[in-house]
Amino acid sequence: MKKSTSSIDKEIGSRVRMRRISIGMSQEKLGDMLGLTFQQVQKYEKGTNRISVARLVDIAKILGVDIHFFFNGIKSIKPESGFAEQETPPYITGVMSTPEGLQLIRTFTSIKNQKVRKSIVQLVSTIAAESD
C-alpha cells in the first residue's frame, strides 16, 4: 500500500520550487543533476511524491541552501489555540513559488519612495477588485 503524502510534504515541495525558481533553475536542470526526470521533480514540488531525507540533502546542496531551509517554521503538530504563532498564510508561499511573484517582490522592494510604493499597492488593489 502506497503511503500518502501530507501537508508537510507539500510545504517542503513548495520550498524546493521557490528556491529553484529564485535561482533561475529549471525543473529539467534540477532533475538532470539528481538523475531524475523533470516529471519526478514536478511531483516532489507539488507534494505528490514524498522526498526522502537523502534526496532532500542532495537537493539542498544543488540549490545552495542548508537542509534547515526546507524545515524552518514547519510544525509537526497543530498548535493549540492561544498564544501560538500563526502559520504563514498559504498565499505567501503561492506567490513566492511563481517566477512572476518573485519578480514582483524583488522589484517592489527595490522601490525606496514610500509614496510610489503606496500608489502601486492602490493600483494593484484596484485591478484585483475589477477582475472579480
How does pLDDT run across 37-49, given as a tens digit for each residue?
999 999 999 999 9
Q: Exposed/middle/buried for 42, CB within 10 Å: 0-12, 13-18, 19+?
A: middle
Supply the DSSP symbol for 4: P
State mean pLDDT over 20-44. Answer: 94
CA distance 10 to 23: 20
Q: Which of 132 and 73 is assigned the larger pLDDT? A: 73
What pLDDT score does 1 carry?
A: 52
CA distance 31 to 34: 5
Copy the grid coordinates of residue 19. 528556491
CATH C-level class of 7-73+88-97: mainly alpha
Q: Exposed/middle/buried for 51, CB within 10 Å: 0-12, 13-18, 19+?
A: buried
Q: Exposed/middle/buried for 54, CB within 10 Å: 0-12, 13-18, 19+?
A: exposed
Mean pLDDT for all residues in the chain: 84
